[in-house]
Homo-oligomer: A and B are copies of this chain.
Amino acid sequence: MTGAVERPLGALETRTAIAEGRLSAEAATEALIERIAALEPETEAWVAVDADGARAGARVLDRGPERGALHGVAIGVKDIFAANGLPWRCGSPIWANRIATFDAASVAMARAAGAIVLGKTETTEFASYKPCRTRNPAAPGRTPGGSSSGSAAAVMSGMVPLAFGTQTSGSIIRPASFCGVVGYKPSFDLIAGSGVAPLARSFDTVGLFARSVADIAFAAGALTGLDLAPENAATPPCPVGLFRSAAWEFAEPDLMAVWETFEADMSASPAILSQPVPAHFADELEGALDLHARIMAVETAEALAHEAAIAPELLSEGLVREIAAGRALSSARRHTDRLSLHRLRARALDCLDRQAVWLTPSACGAAPDWNSGTGNPAFNRTWSLLGLPACSVPLLADPAGRPIGVQVVGAMGNDAGVLAVADWLRRHFT
């Protein structure tokens, strides 16, 4: 599929080549536009490609001094983010003709650091469950996962080195796993989320896709002011554990097989912790999947109150059911659920080792059939509920060679540790 096109550059490679005068931002952008022309017909990852705007922006960068850490790096933006002058459709016919008139905070920060917005990527309906048209470049005939479908697919096929996504239950880690790219869901609210259409405000988290952990860490650093760059350590830079979690009951046979081999490989490492998530805290997480689903339903109903008022007939049946379920929850249930969320997050701070991380599957298996939906987020919901940082690394595959990700998760705020171990894993296993 990609034979006719040169290997695309990553974000750091692009930025370094420009800084060293070996490449112009314009040439880097033009190469991506050509690649999109070649690959987009079979991938359908983009809602809109702003070729002219990206070229013009690149020329401005080439004429001026270095803008920032992302100088000349192109980025794809999931279509629930506002990006000034570009469509903002949220995967819904309700907003089919909307053009954003401002930048989401994360998009503005990326631009301020020198990034070039290449276009808007396909999303499921309001980042919920109804699939979009995007195909999986790494697993033909299979779903790319959702909701950040276009961002994961565009990065996998090399149409862009970097893309924004969001996760509310499993919308970054799952498509990263299915498409064979690196996906990073930061600690809750670490990257500013304003200007991004909401789904469930207690969980919605802005994150990134790239083809290397180093690219992710580098971009996330530019967006947060944090030093997240991994240090190329030869051994795991912090304690690492293995944790199947309660979602294991949803593991498919292919996942079980490769995961057992992976566990055996890892267990030989002296850095492996026996119980990264204490058993008593794992017990407290019983009911977490249901709690996440209930709060998500309530908050989805609130987030989409305007759309449900102006065009209820244009919402999918599934989303209408979700909204109805959210509205139906009693006062007492809403109150105790919200308190339970606060308590569980507080308990996580008390119970989890601040430095350690654990490895758990990114998804229930390789990508399921394209027409079966976008896959099950069971392995992601608990960490989204707790707001913990997670990174999916494409290390495993099913017997047919379809990618399966290893999910690195850490305590609240341990984004640097998660990314460092993700980077170590990639180097250790390749």
Contact = CB atoms under 8 A, between A and B. Distances in A.
Interface SS of chain A: helix, strand, loop or mixed?
Answer: helix
Interface string A81-120: 0001000000000000010011111011101100000000
Interface stretch (A154-162, A345-353, A370-378): A345-353
A224 B201 CA distance: 14
A122 B385 CA distance: 37
Contacts of A48: none
Interface string A291-335: 000000011001101101100000000000000000101010011
A302 B109 contact: yes
A380 interface: no
Contacts of A345: 342, 346
B103 A306 contact: yes
B302 A105 contact: yes
Interface residues of A, number: 50
Contacts of A194: 197-198, 201, 303
B305 A109 contact: yes
A64 interface: no
A202 interface: yes
Contacts of A413: 335, 338-339, 342
B298 A225 contact: yes
A198 to B, nearest CB: 4
A225 B327 CA distance: 8
B198 A309 contact: no
A193 B227 CA distance: 30
Given A334-B224, A349-B346, A413-B342, A193 B201 contact: yes
A172 B349 CA distance: 31
Contact of A350 (B198, B309, B346): B346
A225 B331 contact: yes
A306 B83 CA distance: 10
A382 B357 CA distance: 32
B198 A299 contact: no
A272 interface: no
B201 A303 contact: no
Interface centre among A101, A190, A346 (most CB of B within 10 A): A346
Contact of A309 (B111, B303, B335): B111
Contact of A105 (B306, B327, B329, B343): B306
B108 A226 contact: no
A189 interface: yes
Interface of A: 84, 98, 101-105, 107-109, 111-112, 187, 189-190, 192-195, 197-198, 201-202, 224-227, 298-299, 302-303, 305-306, 308-309, 327, 329, 331, 334-335, 338-339, 342-343, 345-346, 349-350, 412-413
Nearest 5 interchain pairs by C-beta:
A346-B346, A108-B305, A108-B306, A194-B198, A192-B302
